[in-house]
Each structure stands twice: as C-alpha cells, then as structure tokens.
Amino acid sequence: MSVIGVDYGNLSLLIAQAAKGGVDVILNDASNRQTATSVSIQGKQRFLGDAAAAMARSNLTNTISGMKLLVGRKFDSPDVQIELAKYPFKAAKTPHGGVGFLMQYNDETILVPAEHIMAMMLVKAKEIAINAAGGVNVAESVLAVPFWFTDAQRRGILRACELAQLPCLKVVNETTAIGLSFGIFKSAKKLFSETEPTNVLFVDIGYTGYSLVVVSFVQENMRVLATACDRGVSGREMDDCIIEFLAESFQKKTGINVRGNHKAILKLQVAAEKAKKTLSPSGVTEASVNVECLADDKDLNVILTRDEFESRIKGLVDRLAAPIHSCLAQASLKANQLSDVEIVGGSIRVNIIKRRLGEILGLDPTAMSYGLKTTMNSDEAVARGAALQCALLSSRIKVKTFNIIDRLTYGVVASFESTQPPTGNEGSMEEGDPNEEVVTTGTTAQLYLAGDELPHRPRRLTLKRKTADFTLTLMYDAASTRILPEGEDRVIGRFTIRVPPSKNPEAPVPDVRITFNIDRNNCVYIQSAQQWKNTRSRNQRRLLQLGRKGRRASLPRR
C-alpha cells in the first residue's frame, strides 16, 4: 500500500509518493511528471488527463479544465462568474446552488457537478500511482490547496476524494507543504538550531495565484508565522497580457478580432506560455511567435520583445510589494531578519519578477537570482511536501517526528437566534475550564481569530437558560472579507439545536453548552451540544475544574 501527495493545480497535477528512502514524483503513462487536469467526453467515452487536453480544440465545449477553483463554490458568486467567462464550456447551477457543467453524453445533455469532474481526475491520479507502484493500491493520500481556500472549498475537495474512492487523510495548505518539504530534510541533517529559530520566507507564484508564507524552523519543528496572497498576480495574468498583445498584432495586420474565438484563444494561450518561457532567462531579449491558421486561414507571425513584455505586466509587478510587507508585518519581522528567501512556482522564473522581489527585500542585485534562493524544485515542492505530510499522518510508514504548527486563515464567529426572550447574559466564561470558553456579545460570539495557531484546543460556548430550540450560524468574521474571494458567502453553515422539554417545571433551567473544534483540514465543526445543569457555586466549579487538571483541591466547608 502506497501513500501519496497530490498537488492538484488548475492546469496540471503532480503526484509524489513517499516510500522508504525518500519521496519520488511519479511519472504518468506518457512518462511525464505533470498530468493535465482536463476531462473530455465524446459519445460514451471518457478521456482524462493528457488525452483530454489533446482533444480540447476538436471537442471544445465538452472538454472541462480549471475545475479546481470551481469546486465547493456557489454558482451565483461574482468571482465564479468571472472565472467561468474564461472558458468555452457551458456551466449551470446545480440543485444545491453549486457549479455544474453541461456536457453531451451519448447525444444527451447532462449536468455534471464540479466535484464529480474533479473526482474523475482523481481516479486518473490514483491509476497513475497504482501503475507506478506495480499494481499496489493507494492506501492514503494528502491533497494540497491554496491556504485561502474556504471551508466550503475544502469540503468540496474531500467530497471529490470520496467520489473517487481515494482515501484522503488531510487537505493541507500549499504554503505549509512547501515549508515542510524544505524543513524536514534539513532537520534530519541537523541544520537547524535547537533553540534559535531560522526564519524563511517562501514565495510561490503559480498559474492562478501569488502566495507567501514566513516559517520559523527549529530542530524537528516548524511554525507558520504569517501568510499573505494576491490572487490577481499569477502566470495566467501574465499570459493574458501576452495574448492581448498577440490579438492586437493579428487584428492590426489582418483586421480580424479573435478575442471571441475560443479556438483561436486556445492557440494563443499555448503560444503565450511558450513566449513567456523563452523570455524568462536573463539575456534573452526577444521571442518569435508563430501561430498557423489562427483565424480564416491566416497565420500570426510577430516578435515579442522583452521590453514590450515587461511593460505589459508592469501592473502585476507593482503588486508584488504589498503582500510581502503584509506578511512580514504579521510575522513581526524585517527583511534583514530572514535567513533565506526561497522561491517556487512555475511563474517565478520570469526575470523581472525575480528582480523586483530582490529589490523589495533589499537583496544583493549582483548575486545569482538577485539574492533569492532556488534550492527547491519550483514545480514539485508542493507535491513533495504533501507526500511528506501524508507519511507523517499515516500509520503505514515510519517517519521521524516533525512537528507542524499552522495558522488559521479566517476568523470565525457564531451567532444564534431563538424565539425565546433573552434572559440576561447569553454567554459566559468560567475560570479553570479545561477547554477555552467563549464570551458572547449579544447573540454573537467570536470563536476563532485569523492567525490562531493550529492544532487548536476546542472552544466552548455556554448559552444561559435555553428552553426552546434555536438556530446557530457559523460564519467568517468581518475582518476576513479582505481575504475571501469576491462575493463569497460569509456563512459556513447553519445548525438547529434541539432543546428537550423539561420533565420537572420547578427544576432550574439548564444551560446549553456547545463545543466547537477545527479538524485537520482546517474546517470548523460542532463537536457536541449538551445541557448542563449549573447547580454548584462559581467557587465550587472552579475548584473542581482545578482538581481535574491534576491539582489538589477541596470544596469549602459549609
């Protein structure tokens, strides 16, 4: 049985397998390390991965890609509508309000939810892992997602794993996986101090986002200090700038506007990515772009210079600074207090990006890569970290202990409604309670703050003298709106708490105690809800709770 880590990207996925001796990235059936995340249906046949990507032009509206950012989202969200506008396939709302795709299956139109499309790709990933392991089935897995993924998105990922029958131990943050991939091997070689922390900034610019994380390492331990992101800075945005230049050049030469031609845009996307890679190394000043039969049997032949490219992405480059300053401020660090700055992600190779990052952080401009470190594999760091996380959690493989302290991305509040008239203070905090007690203001209680360390102890909310059923709503706090995707619903979930009627009308009305917790996937949930008869005095309760902690305590004499 094998344990794997999956870096599921918007364009492609990578699979790393943890085994005795280390971690290896698995090759697919075409001997490629990356597999396209595309699903295509033709008649009754289903094509997955690279085979589906090759059919994108001939089977345009029946080939789905980019489902990662649509899993667990609401169809009516403005951010989702902007994302769907980038693709040629048709989408519709599912009965539960999610994102579904209208596909032709055997000449019949069917609605397939985004979670099911992702599950198909996970089946393909599982097949690749089984073939690489000589037919041995996948025992457990860990999937990596951006740290800003919401509760609904993470649950959507878990739902896709369930549909694919892929056992998933954890949905891990990509930033945390990168830190783990960097730190665990250095810790094994005793390169960290036992007491003095080593602070490292990791910069990840991928196809759909720009993320940063500051991680503090000591021997056999890592602690996430801060995270920041800008979803508008990405490799896709850079490609779009090049595509606009190519479309302008083609229209100027032929008078044909190809911006609404999806087949032409697919060709330009391939050409733009190739041109970006050509211009990435230092010293290359121009890239020749040639696209045959772009539209109306006319070809595109144009030269893209480095100066033109850099001027068009200047707006993106200018946005690099703000997340860095935010991340360092959260970590209470200055740039000169960082031991290293590691860069990963496919789009980090663009020369102007590295140069600007070095300038912001005050690094040596004459050094290689402008003072930035490139000791990690830019494409494979997340997958390797996810595989290591799976190995640490799994009971099937023995790994040296390495402790991870992560951070919560979003603050969470609980609000409750009831037909029962208010009875004074609705919530309270008691000294000496084994779990952290929550204080409420009116009918709202702050359960977790953004930046709280994980794993976290359970939180307990006590509602005084509840005699009727009431509704409890978990939602992100107001401060989280700056990180949430635009238009994302702040509500995480609603729960109805049933309060049983009292058998003795003269007995004291009991309180209701609700215990909250956060699972290993960073999803908040209600652990328990129970009635609690508060019959002892406050001092007696405090002494009893101190006694449960192992201290000697005795009740006062009457």
Angle of CA points 316, 317, 319, to nearest 5°: 70
In this prediction, residue 539 has a pLDDT band, given cuts at 50, 70 and 90, of very low
Which tens digit of pLDDT belongs to each residue from 424-476?
A: 334 443 333 445 555 444 578 899 999 999 998 899 988 887 778 888 999 99
Q: Please give the pLDDT value at position 515.
A: 93
Distance separating alpha carbons of residues 431 and 47, to the nearest angstrom: 60
For residues 299 and 153, membership in a common domain is answered with no
For residues 101 and 13, membership in a common domain is answered with yes
For residues 436 and 542, membership in a common domain is answered with yes
For residues 17 and 140, membership in a common domain is answered with yes
Q: Taking 80 as the threshold, does the pLDDT of residue 552 lie above it?
A: no
Q: Which of 261, 293, 315 is the last residue of a domain?
A: 315
CATH number (domain holding residue 492): 2.60.34.10
Q: Does the bond joining 455 to the residue before it have cis omega, within 30 degrees of 0?
A: yes
For residues 288 and 435, membership in a common domain is answered with no
Q: Which of 266, 292, 315 is the last residue of a domain?
A: 315
Q: Please give the pLDDT value at position 516.
A: 94
Alpha helices in 225-377 (DSSP H): 235-254, 262-279, 306-312, 314-318, 321-331, 351-361
Q: Is the CB of residue 99 less than 8 Å from the CB of residue 111?
A: no
Which tens digit of pLDDT belongs to each residue from 194-229?
A: 999 999 999 999 999 999 999 999 999 999 999 999
The total domain count for the chain is 4
Q: Please give the pLDDT value at position 430.
A: 35
Q: Please give the pLDDT value at position 193.
A: 94
Q: Please give the pLDDT value at position 507.
A: 73
Q: Please give the pLDDT value at position 421.
A: 41
Q: Which residue has the higher pLDDT, 509 or 496?
A: 496
Mean pLDDT on 112-139 = 94
Q: Judge whether 393 lies within some domain.
A: no
User: What percent of the chain has pLDDT above 70?
Assistant: 91
Distance separating alpha carbons of residues 372 and 547, to the nearest angstrom: 54
Q: Judge whether 471 lies within some domain.
A: yes
For residues 343 and 212, membership in a common domain is answered with yes
For residues 283 and 421, membership in a common domain is answered with no
8-state DSSP, 31? S
Q: Judge whether 257 lies within some domain.
A: yes
CATH number (domain holding residue 273): 3.90.640.10
Beta strand segments in 419-541, E: 436-437, 440-441, 444-448, 453-454, 459-463, 470-476, 491-497, 511-518, 524-532
- What is the CB neighbour count within 10 angstroms for residue 405? 15
Q: Judge whether 403 lies within some domain.
A: no
Least confident of 32-41, 259-268, 295-304, 434-443: 434-443
Distance separating alpha carbons of residues 224 and 245, to the nearest angstrom: 40
Q: Judge whether 501 lies within some domain.
A: yes
In this prediction, residue 323 has a pLDDT band, given cuts at 50, 70 and 90, of very high
For residues 44 and 152, membership in a common domain is answered with yes
Secondary structure element (H or E) that encloses residue 221, with its range: strand 221-230
Q: Please give the pLDDT value at position 1.
A: 63
Q: Taking 60 as the threshold, does the pLDDT of residue 12 lie above it?
A: yes
Q: Please give the pLDDT value at position 282.
A: 85
CATH number (domain holding residue 30): 3.30.420.40
For residues 223 and 246, membership in a common domain is answered with no
Placement of tokens 């494409």 in the chain? 379
Which tens digit of pLDDT belongs to each residue from 483-494?
A: 888 778 899 999
Q: Judge whether 420 lies within some domain.
A: yes
Which tens digit of pLDDT belongs to each residue from 276-315?
A: 999 998 889 999 999 999 999 999 999 999 999 999 999 9
Which tens digit of pLDDT belongs to each residue from 353-404?
A: 999 999 999 999 999 999 999 999 999 999 999 999 999 999 988 888 999 9
Q: Judge whether 490 lies within some domain.
A: yes
Which tens digit of pLDDT belongs to each residue from 171-182?
A: 999 999 999 999
Least confident of 18-27, 403-412, 538-547: 538-547
Q: Which of 274, 297, 315 is the last residue of a domain?
A: 315
In this prediction, residue 553 has a pLDDT band, given cuts at 50, 70 and 90, of very low
Q: Judge whether 221 lies within some domain.
A: yes
For residues 84 and 185, membership in a common domain is answered with no
Q: Taking 90 as the threshold, does the pLDDT of residue 254 lie above it?
A: yes
Q: Please, what is the average pLDDT of the chain?
A: 89
In this prediction, residue 335 has a pLDDT band, given cuts at 50, 70 and 90, of very high
Considering only CA atoms, which of 269, 263, 255, 273 is closest in space to residue 293? 263
In this prediction, residue 242 has a pLDDT band, given cuts at 50, 70 and 90, of very high
Q: Is the CB of residue 464 less than 8 Å from the CB of residue 424?
A: yes
Domain ranges, residue 305 = 235-315
Q: Please give the pLDDT value at position 534.
A: 58
For residues 308 and 331, membership in a common domain is answered with no
For residues 186 and 153, membership in a common domain is answered with no
Q: Which residues pair with 102 in a beta bridge?
A: 90, 111
**272-285 exposure pattern, b = at least 16 Cβ within 10 A, e = fewer:** bbebbebbbeeeee
In this prediction, residue 550 has a pLDDT band, given cuts at 50, 70 and 90, of very low
